[in-house]
Amino acid sequence: MAEYKSVKVSAGRGGWGGPLTVTPSDSRPLIASITGGGIHPVAQRIADLTGGEAFDGFSSSAPFDKLAVAVIDCGGTARVGVYPMKKVLTVDIHATSPAGPLAQFITEELFVSGVKPENVEEA
Amino acid sequence: MTEPGQGAVYATTVTKVGSQVQAFLDHGILIFFGDHAPEELHDISVLHRADVADDGPQPGDTIHLGDVSLEVLAVGEVVRDNLLNLGHLDLKADGRTTAKLPGDVCVAVGALPLLAPGDSFRITRPA
């Protein structure tokens, strides 16, 4: 049994939504970085502080129900909605707010944007 | 095949069209991802594999979707990185000359085509 801790992820400058409390569990241990180019610093910081496992979503795959959180670098239309639609907590490094056909799934309880590593704090 | 007087800065071939793409077209949105994208993004995306990936679009460029040509009116600030890193592009037929979202590429209001596997998607720049 792994020991996990919680972090609070708050909106950065110009961001929207949250704050989110992220607590990985044995059933949802993964911190997905859906950013391309490896593990984003925000995803790494969440993993370091919580004990969750960071993985690159563009190099390997995992079911939605294994994700504690998805970290995305979405410009506002696609990835912002897909993960909230599946009830996955979603952290966007860009300062986006809900728009487009998937906007209805993006709620303050599931989504926070404009996040920098310093916006991730121990809860 | 490059047309005389225009160079392709990006050229790619569609490999798969997700089941939700038509629903996005109904909102004037067409989403592209490279075919290495996570599976959970496949439903909403046109997946493709690029042959030429030199630059992202700029206002004044032409986007060619199969045999449909559209002038680029506005480009958000993360478009180039998204396209070159992930094959990702959000095409919006909203007629805006300033992008509303950082990932948006804006073209004139009007119907966007439903692409099929084998179709080409190119971005060309005036000489």
User: Is A57 close to B38, i.e. CB distance below 8 A?
Assistant: yes
Residue with the bigger pLDDT between B94 and A1: it is B94
Q: How many Å separate Cα B61 from the centre of its chain?
A: 12
Residue B24: per-residue pLDDT: 92
Task: Assess contact for A122 and A5: CB atoms under 8 A.
Answer: yes
Determine the pLDDT at residue B15: 98
Q: How far is B71 from chain A, CA to nearest CA, in Å?
A: 21
Tell me the helices (H) and strands (E) count for chain A, helix number first.
Answer: 2, 8
> A13 CB near a chain B CB, below 8 Å?
no
Which pLDDT score is estimated for B19? Answer: 95
Kindly list the residues from chain B whose CB atom is less than 8 angstroms away from the CB atom of residue A96. 101-102
The reply to whether A74 belongs to the active site is yes
pLDDT at A61: 83
Q: Which residues pair with A31 in a beta bridge?
A: A54, A69
Q: How far apart are CA B6 and CA B61, in angstroms?
A: 10
A1 falls in which pLDDT band (50, 70, 90)?
A: low
For residue A10, pLDDT over 90 is answered with yes
pLDDT, tens digit (0-9, with 9 covering 90-100), for A28-47: 999 999 998 899 999 999 99
pLDDT at res. B1: 46
Contacting residues of B for A57, CB less than 8 Å apart: 38
Tens-digit pLDDT profile for residues B59-80: 999 999 999 999 999 999 999 9
Amino acid (one-letter) located at B76: G
Q: Which residues of A touch B104 (CB under 8 A)?
A: 75-77
CA distance between the termini of chain B: 16
Contact A76 B40 (CB under 8 A): no
List chain B residues with pLDDT less than 70.
1-6
- B6 has which bridge partners? B126
Of A37, A94, A102, which is closest to B85 when you measure between CB atoms? A37
Each residue of A75-88: pLDDT tens digit? 888 888 999 999 99
Q: What is the ipTM of this complex?
A: 0.82
